[in-house]
């Protein structure tokens, strides 16, 4: 009987606690629900684009209402109010945060600003590093050529080997020409082209990502990557096919190599900013350089996608050297004109 009485007492106390919590939750909601509903109405209208139906007072009160509801959420979490109230407040605070602190532009307006001058301005801002990266890439190409000319065995160390690959030292003019035109060797050529694209994309990303190591890894990557180009040019030059291989490479190569150049310049810019931060701390200098070069790298990704499309379609559809050169260097002229001739700065952006 005593045990039953104790159980009944515990049950009564539990029911009383639940009733008190419910009462506290109801009182909490009644005291603050007016602000919640007002914020919800403003947020709903702004999300629907019905800005004309929002009064000036509501617009001015939006930050205050947001902070009030965020405070209510904090209290609700601390006092363990009912789950429905918590879920409602969490969703409302999240929606209001995007309107108060979130981005002020749509995706399309961001794209218009990015392509309308932001990307090209970011590229021009790192022009000293771009010149250094270009010099390194030219040096790598020359080194690859000279090493193979001195000892053809260097070719095998620089070029990826594929089963049945016909592009090797000693191959005849007809064999090498067959890898550039017509259907002969198309399967092996596709594998090699896919390797080049994935390899160059990886190099571009690494050049940027490793720039924090004071720019040393990008220097090595730019030289190492272009030794492969020098080795290939040496091989085809030996059989009088220099212009033909340049045409084959240029369809996608002008865009792809320019993307690597930009990524290398971005990595060098970060490295230089960290090595010579000036009056700022190293971390502040790296952060500022990272923000600037992130815009460059966003464009680099798009350029690599464009290069992949050019390689996939151009190699199959265009089978003459003049047409390949026209496409490749037409793309190069387009990119250079965009980067260095487009000077329009989007409204609200800082000028050069």
In angstroms, the CA 299 to CA 266 distance is 12
In angstroms, the CA 4 to CA 10 distance is 10
In angstroms, the CA 263 to CA 236 distance is 28
In angstroms, the CA 270 to CA 206 distance is 13
Backbone angles phi, psi at 105, to 5 degrees: -120, 155
- With a pLDDT cut of 90, the percent of the chain lying above it is 20
Backbone angles phi, psi at 48, to 5 degrees: -85, -5
In this model, does residue 185 exceed pLDDT 50? no
Sign of the Cα torsion 242, 244, 245, 250 reads: positive
Q: What does the buried/exposed string (b/e) look like for 313-334 if buried means 16 or more CB atoms within 10 Å of the residue's CB?
A: ebbeebeebeebbebbeebbee
Q: State which of 37-46, 99-108, 153-162, 257-266 shows the largest mean pLDDT.
A: 257-266
In angstroms, the CA 206 to CA 64 distance is 45
Q: How sure is the predictor about 147, in pLDDT bands with cuts at 50, 70 and 90? A: very high
Let me know: does 225 contact 135? Beta carbons within 8 Å: no
Q: How much is the pTM?
A: 0.67
pLDDT for residue 136:
94
DSSP characters over 240-262: T-HHHHHHHHHHHHHHHHHHHHH
Instruction: Give me the mean pLDDT over the 37-43 stretch.
Output: 83
- With a pLDDT cut of 70, the percent of the chain lying above it is 78
pLDDT in tens, 109-124: 777 888 888 888 889 9
pLDDT in tens, 264-286: 999 999 888 888 887 888 888 88
DSSP state of 279: T
pLDDT for residue 156:
87
In angstroms, the CA 350 to CA 352 distance is 7
Domain boundaries, the chain: 10-100, 108-341
Of 133, 136, 168, 71, whose CA–CA distance to 263 is shortest? 133
Report the SS3 class of residue 352: coil
Instruction: Give me the mean pLDDT over the 302-319 stretch.
Output: 79
In the numeric block, the tokens 């082209």 are attached to 193
In angstroms, the CA 240 to CA 256 distance is 25
Weakest-pLDDT range from 23-32, 223-232, 291-300: 23-32
Please count the other Cβ atoms lying within 10 Å of the Cβ belonging to residue 244.
20
Instruction: Give me the mean pLDDT over the 198-209 stretch.
Output: 77
Longest CA pairwise span in the chain (Å): 108
Selected residue with higher pLDDT from 101 and 300: 300
Two structure tokens written together for 202: 């990886």
């Amino acid at each position: 009987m005593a045990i039953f009485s104790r159980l009944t007492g515990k049950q009564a106390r539990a029911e009383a606690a639940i009733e008190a919590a419910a009462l506290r939750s109801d009182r909490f909601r009644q005291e603050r629900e007016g602000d919640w509903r007002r914020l919800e109405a403003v947020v709903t209208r702004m999300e629907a684009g019905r800005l004309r139906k929002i009064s000036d007072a509501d617009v001015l009160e939006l930050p205050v209402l947001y902070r009030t509801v965020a405070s209510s959420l904090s209290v609700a979490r601390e006092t363990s109010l009912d789950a429905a109230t918590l879920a409602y407040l969490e969703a409302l605070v999240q929606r209001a945060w995007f309107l108060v602190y979130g981005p002020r532009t749509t995706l399309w307006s961001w794209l218009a600003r990015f392509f309308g001058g932001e990307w090209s301005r970011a590229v021009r801002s790192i022009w000293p590093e771009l010149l250094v990266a270009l010099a390194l890439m030219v040096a790598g190409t020359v080194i690859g050529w000279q090493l193979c000319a001195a000892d053809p065995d260097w070719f095998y160390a620089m070029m990826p080997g594929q089963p049945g690959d016909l592009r090797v030292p000693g191959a005849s003019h007809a064999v090498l020409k067959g890898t550039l035109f017509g259907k002969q060797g198309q399967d092996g050529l596709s594998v090699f082209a896919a390797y080049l694209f994935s390899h160059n994309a990886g190099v571009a990303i690494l050049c940027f990502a490793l720039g924090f190591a004071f720019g040393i890894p990008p220097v090595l990557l730019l030289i190492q990557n272009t030794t492969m180009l020098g080795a290939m040019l040496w091989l085809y030059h030996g059989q009088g096919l220099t212009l033909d291989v340049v045409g084959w490479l240029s369809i996608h190569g002008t865009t792809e190599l320019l993307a690597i150049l930009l990524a290398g310049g971005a990595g060098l810019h970060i490295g230089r900013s960290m090595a010579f931060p000036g009056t700022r701390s190293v971390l502040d200098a790296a952060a500022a350089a990272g923000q600037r070069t992130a815009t460059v790298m966003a464009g680099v990704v798009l350029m690599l996608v464009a290069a992949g499309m050019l390689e996939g379609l151009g190699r199959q559809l265009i089978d003459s050297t003049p047409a390949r050169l026209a496409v490749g260097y037409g793309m190069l002229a387009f990119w250079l004109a965009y980067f260095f001739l487009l000077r329009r700065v989007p409204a609200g952006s800082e000028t050069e």
